[in-house]
Chain A
């Protein structure tokens, strides 16, 4: 075991995967010699050579398009989009190509690629360094969508994603890269070295895609969260004293519906939280499934705490980011309901 930040865990996952399978190639903007703007690929080119880890032109559809072609050949590309906010030029390749190749060719061709992209806000990233576009992927049949919340999961899930036979969108909350963040921006950041999930095995292990994890068992209300919001939800539970059960989804697609349903049937209440905007966000899907499967167990309306339906602002960062105070108020609201 070693102490790792989320960045180091992500890097370790690629390093381990490249060592086990010489078909794994890593490329993207600045990921080669420089090792990535977040240092996620540092040292990979030096260790595995320029044809296994290399810099790409600034062209997201080109990165995805070539990755799809490589996967059709038989490689396992793990590519990086520098910020999730810049995946849009690649959206055609992701949704109409990567997601559909197995289906439309009846398995004649497949697309085992991983697309890593730093996501989420809380870093004064403004409009194009803060977005959470996961709902634009979960609506696409044929994709898998993962958002880890800690170093241990990030490594195990990324290795699983690289080994998965289908395309995986791997969204890394950049606010969590160096330490857990519960929304208390006024407090100093604690590093992952002080967190139990910063303990990461150095070798190979996987975490199954499609399995959620209960981060805090509780009996009063179920909080469904992922990414940075897991830590915010945990803080809100402690601060309100409400005995919330906090579920970290980890995989959004496929979704671990059983864990959610089991929990809500027990608590009778549910709050769904995400950084992404409200309308048609992934929370809408969770709420819909909860009412469909837990209707007779519910004792209050299901509540969503999310980013506002606006572009992500700069100056008003902490009035936009759904912090522990807002989540706490929602917990109190459903307990009264």
Chain B
């Protein structure tokens, strides 16, 4: 007689699938202003609760409330709104350009604009981001020219990466934006190394690492946390939890862990969880973490709770794995609309000015697009030279690559 039951494998499932009613009742959301703002030199063990709550500033009525509010001026908030609107318009145009066959591929940020746009404003010139493919707001908010981004997307004759990289894998040292790699999570630990180098050099610069919820399952996520913890590296470890990794819901990566932020606690890294659709909250938390890093107090882990409203990429159709109306049910709303509402309430913005700004931004994006397209698109017009295939593999071209270049006729 064997009384031991047979084992069964647990495979997590999202609450709802296509055809079902979107349901986010399991997402526990703290009231705006409810989470305390600790001193930056707080001991990590004293703020363990912050890894399980959500720091929020903007309430339902659009008011900025609580201890994380009040850091940004009207001008800074208006600039933030403009950057988010710009990123959204840029995304829409590039999505269309992909559908028109002007490029092979695109990935949008829809719903996640606040995360990268607000974060960039917490960093200083010379700090370095190690982004994923979904933080173009870091470039937009740092006034990197949209034309350059489009040249890269079109792989045209003016492409700063000479046609070698898949669209959106930008690189700009001058704008603190490390070269994007297709390999997930690799940049997370590289950011820690960059931060260690800054500390070795007794510099004042800090680094920011970026990863999505799905990629936290990669081993380099663990590597990064170990090294950041061991050497107290001046790095901000960002996790953008947009609920989805292509078709896989975040529970597959998170498993039994309460939150992604909570993963930092086991490494002794202070961990915060923040409303990723709240521009003010994202900026406030990023600034807190940046100050900790700058004061040599070590790394901070931040989980941005947001929602991937768009498809994963232009090669993806989300209706195959999640309800079509799920984004509308998302309880943290839309980052652009929420900041807009706040600015209207502050009396520095209006529906009219918003509509006018939308039109101006669209015009700006279209002008940039025209300029970029004058240098060619993927299949038409100017393109990088065949010679560019062979350049830059090494600082100096070795003989065997030179022979191959000559064989190719260049």
Contact = CB atoms under 8 A, between A and B. Distances in A.
Contact of A67 (B193, B200, B401): B193
A75 B392 contact: no
Interface stretch (B104-112, B224-232, B269-277): B224-232
A108 B183 CA distance: 19
Interface in A162-196: 165-166
B247 interface: no
Contact of B161 (A51, A106, A166, A210): A106
A207 interface: no
B197 interface: yes
A62 B164 contact: no
Contacts of A100: 181
Contact of A62 (B181, B200, B201, B226): B226
Most interface-central of B194, B200, B230, B393 (chain A CB within 10 A): B200
B179 A65 contact: no
B356 interface: no
B52 interface: no
Interface string B204-237: 0001000000000001101110110010000000
A243 interface: no
Contacts, number: 142
Determine the interface band of chain B, counting residues with CB < 8 A from chain A. 35 or more
B265 to A, nearest CB: 18
A293 B172 CA distance: 43
Interface residues of A, number: 44
B395 A165 contact: yes
A66 interface: yes
B401 to A, nearest CB: 8
A214 interface: no
B399 interface: yes
B227 A72 contact: no
A108 B172 contact: yes
Nearest to A23: B201
A73 interface: yes
Contact of B223 (A61, A70, A102, A255): A61
A285 to B, nearest CB: 10
Contacts of B169: 104
B392 A65 contact: no
Contacts of B230: 57
Contacts of B171: 104-106, 108-109
A254 B181 contact: no
Given A104-B179, A255-B400, A142 B393 contact: yes
A142 B193 contact: no
Interface in B366-410: 392-395, 398-401
Interface in B156-196: 160-162, 164-165, 169, 171-173, 178-179, 181-183, 186, 188-196
Interface of B: 128, 130, 160-162, 164-165, 169, 171-173, 178-179, 181-183, 186, 188-201, 207, 219-220, 222-224, 226-227, 230, 392-395, 398-401
14 contacts: A59-B226, A61-B220, A62-B226, A65-B186, A65-B189, A66-B227, A70-B196, A72-B178, A72-B190, A75-B200, A102-B394, A105-B171, A142-B393, A142-B394
Interface of A: 25, 51-52, 56-57, 59, 61-62, 65-70, 72-75, 77, 89, 92-93, 96-97, 100-110, 141-142, 144, 165-166, 210, 254-255, 257
